[in-house]
Chain A
Amino acid sequence: MKYIADVVTLEFFQEKCTGCGKCVEVCPQGVFLIRDKKAFVTDRDRCMECGACANNCEFGAIKVNSGVGCAAAIINSMIAGGPPSCDCGEQSGSGCCG
Chain B
Amino acid sequence: MGIEKISFLPRTPGIKKAAGQPAVSKVSSEWTWKDHLGQIKCRLGSLRMRYTVNPGLYAVGEPDRESDVFVTANYKLSFDILRRELRGLNAWIIVLDTKGINVWCAAGKGTFGTDELISRINEINLHNVVSHRRIIIPQLGAVGVNARIVQQRTGFRVYFGPVHAKDIPAYIRAAYIKTPEMRLVRFNMLDRLVLTPMEINPAMKKFPLFSLIVLILFGIQPSGILFKDAWEGGIPFLIFGLMSVFTGAFITPLLLPFIPFRSFAVKGWITGVISVFALMKGIELSYYKNILPLASAYIFFPFASSYIALQFTGSATFTSMSGVKKELKIGVPVYLTATALSLLILTIYKLSQWGVI
Residue of A nearest to B158 (CB): A56
A70: contacting residue among B48, B107, B201, B311, CB under 8 A: B311
* Chain A residues, CB < 8 A from B315: 70, 96
Residue of B nearest to A69 (CB): B321
* Chain B residues, CB < 8 A from A73: 314
Chain B residues in the interface with A (C-beta under 8 A): 1, 42, 45-46, 48-51, 75, 77, 99-102, 104-105, 107-109, 111, 139-140, 142-148, 160, 163, 178, 180, 183-185, 187, 198, 201-202, 256-257, 262-263, 310-311, 313-328, 332
* Chain B residues, CB < 8 A from A52: 107, 139-140, 142-143
> How far apart are B299's CB and chain A's nearest CB, in angstroms?
21
User: Contact at A48–B320, with CB atoms within 8 Å?
Assistant: yes
Residue of A nearest to B185 (CB): A28
User: Contact at B185–A29, with CB atoms within 8 Å?
Assistant: yes
Besides the known contacts A30-B184, A71-B328, 13 further A-B residue pairs in the complex with CB atoms under 8 A apart: A4-B322, A8-B322, A25-B183, A26-B160, A47-B320, A55-B145, A55-B146, A65-B322, A69-B313, A78-B332, A95-B202, A97-B105, A98-B101
Residues of A39-91 whose CB lies within 8 A of B = 46-52, 55-56, 58, 65-75, 78, 84, 86, 88-89, 91
User: Contact at A48–B317, with CB atoms within 8 Å?
Assistant: yes
Chain A interface SS verdict (over half): loop
Q: Can you list 13 pairs linking A and B with CB atoms under 8 Å apart? A: A2-B262, A3-B323, A7-B323, A48-B319, A51-B143, A52-B139, A55-B145, A68-B109, A69-B314, A70-B315, A75-B328, A88-B105, A92-B1
User: Contact at B324–A74, with CB atoms within 8 Å?
Assistant: yes
A69 to B108, CA, bound (A): 10
User: Contact at B178–A28, with CB atoms within 8 Å?
Assistant: no
Per the CB 8 Å criterion, the residue count for chain A at the interface is: 50
A85 to B143, CA, bound (A): 17
- Is A14 at the interface (CB under 8 A from chain B)? no
Residue of A nearest to B205 (CB): A93
A47 to B322, CA, bound (A): 10
* Chain A residues, CB < 8 A from B325: 7, 74
A57 to B147, CA, bound (A): 10
A1: contacting residue among B148, B163, B318, CB under 8 A: B318
User: Contact at A98–B321, with CB atoms within 8 Å?
Assistant: no
> How far apart are B353's CB and chain A's nearest CB, in angstroms?
35
* Chain A residues, CB < 8 A from B263: 4
